Amino acid sequence: MSYDRVRGMYDILPDEIPWWRLAEEAVREIARRCHYHEVRFPVVEPTELFSRGIGESTDVVTKEMYTFPDRKGRSLTLRPEGTASVARLYLTHGLAAKAPFQKLFYLGPMFRYEKPQKGRNRQFHQYGIEVLGVLDPVVDAEVIGFAWSLMEHLGLGGLRLRLNSIGCSEDRATYREILREFFAPSADRMCADCRRRLLENPLRILDCKEEICQPLIAGAPGSMDSLCPECAGHFAAVRQWLDRLGLRYDIDPRLVRGLDYYTRTVFELVSSDLGAQDTLLGGGRYDDLIEMLGGPPTPGIGFAGGFERLVLALQERGCKPPIERLDLYLVPFGDEGRRAGLALAGTLRKRGVSVDLDVRGRSLRKQLEAANEMNARHVLVLGDEEARTGRGKVKEMDTGVERESSLDVDALITVLGG
């Protein structure tokens, strides 16, 4: 093999496609029901969009972006996520003034330069929804409801929604200080990473999985204690809505998301069927993002989910996507039959029937074996005899029953249908 795949980027072969389509169609269907509109945006954006939108100090920006200069020396980046692009799109097209309230969704590949492992690739595929222009807590509940509807539609179980509020930017600043004061006295009893985090971003300490840090983290004050009255009220209202709608959630005061634009409500939907990378989707509010990118103050909320992980979870749960069967396998046979075969296939295909036929002139036996292997519903042997008389026998492969039929397209379609 002379060329390897790029590390962390994968081919998806026909065998896997049914699960992908199942997942993609579910997203589109829920989006349709909830009246979200699809947007598509470039895979490449100016680097600054991400570094400013996602946050200069985040892992994504500091070490995970595919960034390169174009031929005129401008710095471009393969999108590592979608929200920043949607915010940019919102501003680019003047929606803030024209139609400030938007419910949008997207699907597509994202890129992050990370060490690959189960459920984490360098090119991965996300779907995401974004609601722009409304601060009301009912929207938070609607967005979370979308996530649950999607999972319910797919019949996925083993799920848990982790919910938290990290407050507005002022709250986050005060919380950061509270954590700093809390952890500082015991800094010497924490792992090296956490000592660094203490200075750079104390919020991250809460994510630490090191044994040594666990007891300390367990006793740390939650972010909800430092919420301002507005944010506390917002969060209480979100919870009320969720309760009213019967949407399950677990409050997790240690849930801190890794992108800087998040404010107030944050959440993750995790699956018990996945490995270490068990977050099926994650999101939250980003009420300052649009303004940060140069637009008018505009609240927003959304989430993104990974298709790879969704597919893994579906397979883990034994979900079988519907199998698409070939309607008819034509077995052209003899000179006349072969001449008639392709023409007949063409007319049937125009009528919406899926037809395949042998193009290698193989033996009758081999062709039937092929038909059997590809799980065709019907077989029609089209030899010289059939070509001459215009009649043939359609065999239903599951039962072995043969039915005599005219080779007239309408007659055939009737036989195939039954």
Q: Report 124-153 residues binding RNA (CB under 7 A).
A: 124, 126
DSSP class of residue 120 equals B
For residue 196, state whether it binds RNA (rule: CB under 7 A).
no
| Options 96-104, 118-126, 141-149, 346-354: segment touching RNA (CB under 7 A) | 118-126
Stretch 74-103: interaction string toward RNA, x if CB under 7 A: -------x----------------------
Site for RNA in 249-268 (CB under 7 A): 256-259, 268
Using CB under 7 A, which of 365, 404, 410, 417 touches RNA? 365
Q: Are the C-beta atoms of residues 218 and 206 closer than 8 Å to each other?
A: no
Segment lying near RNA (by CB under 7 A), choices 94-102, 205-213, 318-326, 345-353: 205-213
Name the one range near RNA by CB under 7 A: 4-12, 85-93, 321-329, 340-348. Answer: 4-12
Which residues lie across from 68 on neighbouring strands?
76
Annotate 340-366 with b (16+ C-beta within 10 A) or e (fewer).
bbeebbeebeeeebbbbbbeeeeeeee
Map residue 377 onto helix, strand or coil.
coil
For RNA, how many residues bind (rule: CB under 7 A)?
A: 73
Q: Does 333 bind RNA (CB under 7 A)?
A: yes
Query: How far is the C-alpha of 302 from the C-alpha of 264, rounded, in Å?
Result: 12
The answer to whether residues 253 and 224 touch, using CB atoms and an 8 Å cutoff, is yes
Among 16, 59, 230, 316, binds RNA (CB under 7 A): 59
Residue 192, interface with RNA (CB under 7 A)?
no
Min dist. Cβ of residue 191 to RNA (A):
9
**Kind plus residue range of the DSSP H or E element containing 233:** helix 229-245
Q: Is 306 in the site for RNA (CB under 7 A)?
A: yes
By the rule CB under 7 A, 329 interacts with RNA: no
State the minimum distance, in angstroms, from the CB of residue 361 to RNA.
7
Among 26, 30, 31, 60, interactor with RNA by CB under 7 A: 60
> Per CB under 7 A, which region of 170-178, 182-190, 220-228, 272-280 contacts RNA?
272-280
Distances (CA, A) of 106 to 27, 89, 93, 302, 357: 9, 12, 17, 11, 38
Are 240 and 249 contacting, i.e. CB atoms less than 8 angstroms apart? no
The answer to whether 393 contacts RNA (rule: CB under 7 A) is yes
Q: In what order do the strands lie in the sheet with 263-271?
A: 37-38, 102-111, 123-132, 300-306, 279-285, 263-271, 159-165, 250-251
Q: Which is nearer to RNA, 166 or 259 (CB)?
A: 259
What is the distance between the alpha carbons of residues 381 and 337, in angstroms, rounded to a whole number? 9
Choice from 293, 340, 397, 412 touching RNA (CB under 7 A): 397
Rounded Cα distance, 334 and 339, in Å: 9
Site membership for RNA, residue 119 (CB under 7 A): yes
**Is 362 a residue that touches RNA (CB under 7 A)?**
yes
SS3 content of the chain, % helix, strand, coil (to 5): 45, 20, 35
| 304 forms part of the interface with RNA (CB under 7 A) | yes
Contact flag: residue 289 with RNA (CB under 7 A): no
Nearby residues of 142 by Cβ (< 8 Å), 6 or more positions away? 34, 131
Kindly state whether residue 384 participates in binding RNA, applying the rule CB under 7 A. Answer: yes
Sole residue written with tokens 């043969």: 402
356 sits near RNA (criterion: CB under 7 A): no
Among 279, 347, 354, 406, binds RNA (CB under 7 A): 279
